[in-house]
Amino acid sequence: MTVENPPVGRQGVWADLVGQEPIVAVLSMAVDTASAALAGDPSVTGMSHAWLFTGPPGSGRSNAARAYAAALECERGGCGECSECRTTLAGSHPDVTLVRTEQLSIKVDEVRELVRKAAMSPTGRRWQVLVVEDADRLTEQAADALLKSVEEPAARTIWLLCAPTIEDVVPTIRSRCRMLSLRTPPPGAVAAVLTERDGVPEDVATFAARASQGHIGRARALAADEATRSRRRDVLALPSRLHDIGACVMAAAQLIEAADEEAAAIADRLDPAERAGLEQALGVGTRGVRVRGAAASLKELADQHKTRRKRFQRDALDRSLTDLMSFYRDVLMLQTGSGVVLVNEEVRRDVEAMAHRESAENTLRRIEAILECREALEGNVAPLLAVESLMLDLARPE
Amino acid sequence: MARPRAADVLGRVTLVTGPEEFLAERTVRTVIDAVRTADAEADVTQVDGAELGSGAFSELTSPSLFSTSRVVVVRQVQDAPEEPVAGLLRYAESPDDDLALVVVHPGGQKGRGVVDKLRKIGVVEVKSETPKQYELPRFVTAEVQAEGGSIGEEAAAALVDAIGPDLRALSAAGGQLTHDSGGEPITVDVVRRYFGGRAEVKSFAVADAAIGGDPARSLEQLRWAMGNGVAPVLMTSAFASGLRALARYVSAPRGLKDNDLAREVGVPPWKLRTLRTQARGWSQTGLAAAIKAVARADAEVKGAADDADHALERMVLAVTGARTTR
Ligand SMILES: [Zn+2]
């Protein structure tokens, strides 16, 4: 079967992979190899059954893994239109298992379940694909449980693991995988997608692409949502406001509150629908039906929602820290004389004022303080306290 | 001293002695309030002995152009140099009718000479002794009554039992219960309901002692709490919330009414008293250092649990050490 060959990266399941042309080229070839192997072509050797997708947040590593999964299942190499493609991308294809966790770690029990599935033949005619979107969250035990299956996969099984960097994945696992690292898409590519596909006006697209620093999801949110833009403006106003200790603790409270609000906005949209879905599945409210364990299942879902909300809060706070970091990077650019276009052009005056007033050394200390705050948050330090400490460091770096 | 009137303090020297800072501060407050009640425009000046330079004392006590009644508070009189001390003693012999002078001495040998000489002159002395354990329930009862509430003997004892001997914490708890019970007598049940979570209360007492500048008491209570299984994260969180309120308090705009100030700071109004006392002795730099130390300790207790006790002790010392940082 032949398909026409339009430029890669602009069509089918690959269309969403902005600025990742080299990756798309590799994956397209891998899809051809896999098809040849299925067709029984004896010349095919050394096909990869385990892949590790890495890339900075927003580069689209899990999108890339899903697109590849769809292309593997698709009779036409990832047309993006057939039911194989669509169900894979939507997460409902019977032979494609997507594992993503809102929890902080993936436990060994979940992995054992996956490994059982990996040992089975696909229900369809093509591949059994297992996508682990947060391979960096595998516990050591979980990674051990996974190892054998990744090492000696069943003939029709393919593992796709995703993580921010290869260091985030235990060495035993990563040494068995073929690595693919996605890059941060250039702002031009992001802006082009926003205008061409989402119909965003050019000036807004340019702003969103620049401000998101190549994070496509973030760029979309910035382009589409005034509340997101306004939260970002508030964050960028902080560095010039830290004039005394009261201002520092207020600023910290404001950041945490904004993160909570943002998380609530997302969670309030997702939670009720999921709960309603589960209730319907359990037959809750149906006359004469009493489902055993319904209460326990609902309680479990409620717990998951709570954990997920916490993770949303962390993610939102992390985005604010990224914005803050970009502010001080801009300051440093001006101080070292290498700044032409700032990430935060819209607050250039504040950036310039700080660049003149402060030493580059202090700017570096502030950037260091933001990194330390991230570390503290990962170490579970109370978020408000960690951010208060950060604001004090930003106000007066030592 | 029962609630004095302006006439009781104007034209007099009030000598406040003794180690219990909470009570001493309260005496100072009652003098200021008495004068202010009689004359809302009264001028109030507060200095530490160490701040007094040559001639400073006569300048402080010389008549003001703008107000008739005045209050001058000299704290830590033991740190004052010789010259102003001589001026002070001279003034005490013939005090000005429109001026209430309050001299505060925290006890101890240093500055004992001034205290003795003032006593000889015959000034009014108010002693701030640390109450004995058995006197504490009576202290609680008085606190609650002063707030306009009532509490039985047994309930007062239960509160002491739950909170420990820290007067500031007891006073704050009494204030909170009175405020929340809306005129109903405070019963043992109410006390249990509020302060049954003894662990949390203990952690606040440890934090209050450290922030109030008493490392010995703070460490002692910390060890007690750790020995009784209080979770280390409760400690760091109590310290964080105490310092947070103080940070907001010290940089709140001046001249707000209590209710507005409480809202600005984010604490219930009864807590302002505690903050007012704690704020003395804290600079912004010191507070910043203290908050960072607590953040470090929080990271430590959440990381290496074995070391939690040491991390918390280091935190207490860092916080009390930061208190005097100018
Ligand atoms: Zn297709």
What's the pLDDT tens digit per position in B180-194? 777 788 988 788 777
Nearest-Cα distance to chain B for A173, in Å, is 26
Cβ of B292 within 8 Å of Cβ of A382? The answer is no
DSSP state of A186: P
Q: From ligand 1's centre to the CA of A87, what distance in Å?
A: 10
Question: Ranked by mean pLDDT, which of A6-15, A172-181, B293-302 comes out on top?
Answer: B293-302
Cβ of B288 within 8 Å of Cβ of A385? The answer is no
Does B110 contact A at CB distance below 8 Å? no
Among the listed residues B225, B190, B178, B188, the one whose alpha carbon sits nearest the alpha carbon of residue B205: B225
pLDDT of residue B14: 94
Cβ of A389 within 8 Å of Cβ of B295? The answer is yes
- What are the CA-CA distances from residue B80 to residues B11, B31, B47 (Å)? 22, 22, 10
Does B250 contact A at CB distance below 8 Å? yes
Question: Ranked by mean pLDDT, which of A78-82, A185-189, A216-220, B196-200 comes out on top?
Answer: A78-82
* Cα–Cα dist A361/A397, whole Å: 10
pLDDT of residue B271: 75
* Cα–Cα dist A310/A313, whole Å: 5
Clarify whether residues B193 and B207 are in a common domain. Answer: no
- Are A239 and A324 a contacting pair, CB within 8 Å? yes
Does A136 contact B at CB distance below 8 Å? no
Q: Looking up tokens 């909570």, which residue turns up?
A: A260
- Indicate the residue among B67, B99, B127 that finishes a domain: B127
- Look up the domain containing B159 and give its range: 133-198
Q: What does R_g of chain B's alpha carbons equal in angstroms?
A: 21
Cβ of A245 within 8 Å of Cβ of B240? The answer is no
Nearest CA in chain A to B304: A379
DSSP state of B108: S
| Residue B196 binned pLDDT confidence (cut-offs 50, 70, 90) | low
User: Residue B80: left (phi > 0), alpha (psi -120 to 50), or beta?
Assistant: beta
Clarify whether residues B116 and B55 are in a common domain. Answer: yes
Does A385 contact B at CB distance below 8 Å? yes
Q: Beta-strand (E) ranges in chain A?
A: 50-54, 96-99, 128-132, 157-163, 178-181
What's the pLDDT tens digit per position in A227-261? 889 999 999 999 999 999 999 999 999 999 999 98
User: Residue A337: left (phi > 0), alpha (psi -120 to 50), or beta?
Assistant: left
- Packing angle of the helix pair B232-250, B198-211 (nearest 10 deg): 50
Strands A178-181 and A96-99: unpaired
- Are B136 and B165 a contacting pair, CB within 8 Å? yes
What's the pLDDT tens digit per position in B27-45? 999 999 999 888 888 888 8
Clarify whether residues B299 and B312 are in a common domain. Answer: yes
Cβ of A244 within 8 Å of Cβ of B284? The answer is yes
* Cα–Cα dist A133/B159, whole Å: 53
Residues of A in contact with B287 (CB under 8 A): 245
HSE-CB at B5 with a 13 A cutoff on CA atoms is 2
- Chain B interface mutation, best of A241, A256, A388, A394, highest count of B Cβ atoms under 10 Å: A388
Residues of B in contact with A248 (CB under 8 A): 247, 288
Point out the residue among B237, B284, B302 whose CB comes nearest to the CB of A245: B284
Pick from A57-66, B41-50, B80-89, B160-169: least confident:
B160-169
Give the percent of chain B with pLDDT over 70: 94
Q: From ligand 1's centre to the CA of A276, what distance in Å?
A: 32
Q: Looking up tokens 């310092």, which residue turns up?
A: B243
Q: Which residue pairs from B123-127 have beta carbons closer than 8 angstroms and sit at least 24 positions apart in sequence? A: B123/B12, B123/B13, B123/B14, B123/B15, B123/B92, B124/B1, B124/B9, B124/B12, B124/B13, B124/B14, B124/B15, B125/B14, B125/B15, B125/B16, B125/B17, B126/B1, B126/B14, B126/B15, B126/B16, B126/B17, B126/B27, B127/B17, B127/B18
Q: From ligand 1's centre to the CA of A94, what distance in Å?
A: 15
- Are A67 and A194 a contacting pair, CB within 8 Å? no
| Residue B173 binned pLDDT confidence (cut-offs 50, 70, 90) | confident
| Residue A7 binned pLDDT confidence (cut-offs 50, 70, 90) | very low
On the question of pLDDT at A5 being above 50, the answer is no
What's the pLDDT tens digit per position in B220-247? 888 878 877 778 888 998 999 999 999 9
A229: phi then psi, degrees, rounded to nearest 5: -65, -40
Clarify whether residues B230 and B303 are in a common domain. Answer: yes
Among the listed residues A172, A164, A88, the one whose alpha carbon sits nearest the alpha carbon of residue A133: A164
Sheet holding A96-99, edge to edge: A96-99, A128-132, A157-163, A50-54, A178-181
Clarify whether residues B247 and B318 are in a common domain. Answer: yes
* Cα–Cα dist A356/B181, whole Å: 57
The answer to the question of residue B1 being in a domain is: no
Clarify whether residues B69 and B34 are in a common domain. Answer: yes
Q: From ligand 1's centre to the CA of A77, what distance in Å?
A: 6
- Are B287 and B316 a contacting pair, CB within 8 Å? no
Count of other CB atoms within 10 angstroms of residue A321: 20
pLDDT of residue B3: 72
- Indicate the residue among B87, B109, B127 that finishes a domain: B127
Point out the residue among A245, A384, A389 whose CB comes nearest to the CB of B250: A245
* Cα–Cα dist B45/B36, whole Å: 13
Q: From ligand 1's centre to the CA of A23, what distance in Å?
A: 19
- Are A175 and A166 a contacting pair, CB within 8 Å? no
What token pair was written down for B18? Answer: 């003794």
Q: From ligand 1's centre to the CA of A60, what distance in Å?
A: 20
Clarify whether residues B207 and B289 are in a common domain. Answer: yes
Does B228 contact A at CB distance below 8 Å? no
On the question of pLDDT at B264 being above 70, the answer is yes
Strands B124-127 and B99-105: unpaired
Cβ of B250 within 8 Å of Cβ of A376? The answer is no
Residue bearing the bigger pLDDT, B182 or A291:
B182
Point out the residue among B240, B251, B295 whose CB comes nearest to the CB of A376: B295
Section A6-31 average pLDDT: 80
Pick from A206-210, A289-293, B95-99: least confident:
A289-293
* Cα–Cα dist B16/A397, whole Å: 42
* DSSP β-bridge partners for residue A98: A131
Q: Beta-strand (E) ranges in B96-236?
A: 99-105, 124-127
Nearest-Cα distance to chain B for A252, in Å, is 10
On the question of pLDDT at A2 being above 50, the answer is no
Residues of B in contact with A386 (CB under 8 A): 295, 298
User: What's the first-to-final CA gap in chain B, in angstroms?
Assistant: 34
Q: How far does CA A350 lie from the centroid of its chain?
A: 31
Give the CATH number for residue B72: 3.40.50.300
Nearest CA in chain A to B246: A246
Cβ of A246 within 8 Å of Cβ of B299? The answer is no
On the question of pLDDT at A12 being above 70, the answer is yes
What token pair was written down for B210? Answer: 């450290």
CA dihedral over B173, B179, B181, B186, signed as positive or negative: positive
- Are B206 and B225 a contacting pair, CB within 8 Å? yes
Give the CATH number for residue B213: 1.20.272.10
CATH of range A12-181; options 3.40.50.300, 2.50.20.10, 1.10.3720.10, 3.30.420.10: 3.40.50.300
Clarify whether residues B207 and B190 are in a common domain. Answer: no
What token pair was written down for A167? Answer: 């260091």
Nearest-Cα distance to chain A for B251, in Å, is 5
Nearest-Cα distance to chain A for B273, in Å, is 19
- ∠ CA A293-A295-A300 to the nearest 5 degrees? 95
- Are B186 and B177 a contacting pair, CB within 8 Å? yes
Spell out the domain ranges in chain A. 12-181, 187-224, 241-395
Count of other CB atoms within 10 angstroms of residue A230: 11
On the question of pLDDT at B283 being above 90, the answer is yes
Point out the residue among A244, A245, A386 whose CB comes nearest to the CB of B295: A386
Cβ of A246 within 8 Å of Cβ of B248? The answer is yes
Q: From ligand 1's centre to the CA of B127, what distance in Å?
A: 89
On the question of pLDDT at A372 being above 70, the answer is yes
What's the pLDDT tens digit per position in A32-70? 999 998 888 877 777 889 999 999 877 888 899 999 999
In chain B, how many domains are there?
A: 3
- Indicate the residue among B181, B198, B215 that finishes a domain: B198
- What are the CA-CA distances from residue A147 to residues A107, A143, A170, B26 (Å)? 14, 6, 10, 69
Pick from A70-74, A135-139, B198-202: least confident:
B198-202
Give the mean pLDDT of chain A: 87
The answer to the question of residue B43 being in a domain is: yes
Q: Beta-strand (E) ranges in chain B?
A: 12-17, 43-48, 70-75, 99-105, 124-127
Does B279 contact A at CB distance below 8 Å? no
ipTM over 0.90: no
| Buried/exposed B137-154: b ≥16 CB within 10 Å, e otherwise | bebbbebbeebebebeee
A161: phi then psi, degrees, rounded to nearest 5: -110, 145
DSSP state of A244: S
Residue bearing the bigger pLDDT, A376 or B326:
A376
Point out the residue among A249, A380, A385 whose CB comes nearest to the CB of B295: A385
What token pair was written down for B65? Answer: 């152009």
Cβ of B291 within 8 Å of Cβ of A379? The answer is no
* Cα–Cα dist A149/A314, whole Å: 33
pLDDT of residue B48: 85
Size of the A and B interface in Cβ pairs below 8 Å: 62
Cβ of B251 within 8 Å of Cβ of A244? The answer is yes
Clarify whether residues B180 and B253 are in a common domain. Answer: no
Clarify whether residues B211 and B168 are in a common domain. Answer: no
* Cα–Cα dist B247/B266, whole Å: 11
